[in-house]
Structure 1
Amino acid sequence: MDTHSDRIDVHHHFFPPSLSRVKAAQSQAVGFRTPPENLPWNADLSLRAMDSLGIQLAILSLPTGLAESFDEAKRVNALMHQIVLQHEDRFAFWGCLGDWRDVEGALQLIPYVFDELGAVGIAVSSSYGSGDEARYIGDDIYDPIWSALDARGAIIFIHGTQTPSSTPIPHPTLGLPITEVPHETFKAAAQLVVSGKTCRFSRLKIVLAHMGGSTLALAPRVAGLARYMGAPLSEDEILIEFRRFWWDTALSGGGSLAACGAEAWGVGEDRVLWGSDFPAVSLDTIRWFDSHLGKVYQNNASQLENVRRKNVLALFKSCGIRVFGSQSVPNRS
């Protein structure tokens, strides 16, 4: 990896102090291992990693399943905002609205994170709740939240939840973050499309973590079979809606659209954004994935520069957001 400090990292986690103390145990419970050198996390740890990886700006987001109460969500938003203020031009953050099943609480937090704190957008879990009480984010109960975000033309960053399947982890090296999270992202994205939510809330700009998990490979399957099962959109209309998403390269094999066949149904390279997933993984792991990204674009240096930086700046500009300065400010009318 070259070390030119030009990357903008859209997938960079904030570990609050309460999480850093228990993160190792939590990771073990879902079949994963957070690098011990990244715990306890603090902003200086990220800054050293960013300098090593050539990241100019990291957009912080809270891991899924945390800060689900209104008070805790408000507190972690304030903590991320303080990091942005303390490190000019190095951090921005995705706001957190807590557990979306508390619709009124989420609605109260929207003006707080945007208007008072200057979040660039909202980080969203693919679902909220567990078991029979779980509701994916395209559920009708969340429509008031989507409507309020759509009115702002907000950017949404969707990350899959670590939802266990009904069967055991297939192998010690295949924990939930590896096998389940990619499919949870896909299920949330597919639900938003076939339920008509991406059509209804068309001002939203939605970024899918980890290249959308399995979304790119399975979107044509959804188009054909969801239509067969009675989806109101035609096959072509479903694929048009999938083309609305943006795709974050974190831990995603180089972020190749061609490898997933996505170019054939019209996903553009201008929708690919760079992400690291630090501090959830080691620097060596991030470098391995980034080396594959370099191979994908080895004959197109300008496109690689777009993925690493220019695409996300264009996305922010389209939403009236500036990310360099004393804080990240949505300049929306």
Structure 2
Amino acid sequence: MTTARIDVHQHLVPQDYAQWLGAKGITAAGGRPLPEWSPESALALMDRYSIAAAILSLSTPGTHLGDDADARTWARRVNETAADLVRDHPDRFGLFATVPLPDIEGAVCEISYAYDDLDADGVVLLANSHGRYLGDPSLDPVMADLDRRAAVVFVHPSDLPGPTVPGIPPFAADFLLDTTRAATNLVMHDVPRRYPNIRFILSHAGGFVPYASHRIAAAIVAETGRNPAECLEDLRGFFFDTALSGSPAALPSLLAFAEPGHVLFGTDWPFAPEPGVAYFTGQLDTYPGLDRVGRAGIDRGNALELFPRLAKVV
């Protein structure tokens, strides 16, 4: 087992942000109560699971609850909180900056601040923002700015723009569909080819993308007339994390589909509680379909291609 994992899917939940959500009547995300979080508890968890560094991101619902001004204010506050933590622990934490989509102007402004002033490692974008999915042409100004910066973009699911099914919490199935919709829409609108410098990471092994990739490609071909091999190439070109997906059911499809070097370690802590982290990390550690080189790539090496600064500190 490696002693220097890099976790690309770990969240922060600042106390003031959680209190703000609570004042808005939001006490859960994805069907799970907002978890307790602190830098100290994050570091302790990381030490228990051989995680040398974690790239922190804000989970759904993000900061845009309907008001642009509020969304900009809270995106800035969360990003500055996370940046302070990275400065205090540069060898343990990184930052995926949050942006207030669907506010395009606010998002571009926060991307500039995150990169130019906070030295962010990348940006987290929700798969959909109030029903507007990544890939929507209205988001092209954001994509153009991210492309200019050769950004790493972590795509995290949000609530589907529709009702939930009683008894089925969103994190169990809806989140996987949300990520799949975003990936499909990105390829449908040719974003990976129009903005080739962006490196997208799809959370939770890409949702249903690896398993349904040929079916998705067929749908894109029917809609756009594009070459099916090109569509599959674009889908395979995403990066994928293993959060809640290091199982003997999910890993064969993911590893058979993703480009070599495009699978990254993730936990989804603290929204995934520690027993979940233990279970899926343990399944990944004992999966017989990975050799030593492949396992080391997932644990650390593949992430270093995206975040080379961590090679010096972990």
- 1:242-290 Cα offsets, whole Å, 9 max, x none, are 1210000000133877632762xx5234100000111112222111101
The answer as to 2:37 corresponding to 1:49 is: no
- Aligned pairs for 1:58-97 (under 5 A) are 58-68=54-64, 69-97=71-99
Give the aligned residue type for 2:237: R
| CA 74–204 in structure 1, closer or farther in 2 if over 3 Å, else same | same
**Distance of 1:286 and 1:188 partners within structure 2:** 25
- The DSSP-based 3-state class of the residue aligned with 2:184 is helix
Question: 1:31 is matched with which residue?
Answer: 31
Give the aligned residue type for 1:300: D
Deviation for aligned residue 1:299 = 5.3
Give the aligned residue type for 2:96: W
**Distance of 1:299 and 1:324 partners within structure 2:** 23
- Aligned pairs for 1:60-209 (under 5 A) are 60-68=56-64, 69-99=71-101, 101-129=102-130, 134-163=131-160, 165-166=162-163, 168-169=165-166, 171=167, 174-209=168-203
Give the aligned residue type for 2:117: E
| CA 304–255 in structure 1, closer or farther in 2 if over 3 Å, else same | farther
Relative to the length of structure 2, the TM-score reads: 0.89
Q: Is the 8 A contact 1:97 1:109 kept in 2?
A: yes
Q: Is the 8 A contact 1:88 1:324 kept in 2?
A: no
- Aligned pairs for 1:210-229 (under 5 A) are 210-228=204-222
| CA 46–186 in structure 1, closer or farther in 2 if over 3 Å, else same | same
Relative to the length of structure 1, the TM-score reads: 0.85
**Distance of 1:181 and 1:195 partners within structure 2:** 21
- Aligned pairs for 1:243-254 (under 5 A) are 243-254=236-247
Q: Is the 8 A contact 1:92 1:120 kept in 2?
A: yes
Question: 1:330 is matched with which residue?
Answer: none
**Distance of 1:256 and 1:153 partners within structure 2:** 33
- The DSSP-based 3-state class of the residue aligned with 1:67 is coil
In percent, how many aligned pairs have the same letter? Answer: 29
**Distance of 2:255 and 2:310 partners within structure 1:** 30
**Distance of 1:209 and 1:27 partners within structure 2:** 23
**Distance of 2:290 and 2:312 partners within structure 1:** 34
The answer as to 2:303 corresponding to 1:323 is: no
Q: Is the 8 A contact 1:12 1:58 kept in 2?
A: yes
- 1:294-324 Cα offsets, whole Å, 9 max, x none, are 232565122111100000002234xxxx136
Give the aligned residue type for 2:148: A
Structure 1's unaligned 5+ residue stretches are: 327-333
How big is the alpha-carbon RMSD for the aligned residues of Structure 1 and Structure 2? 2.4
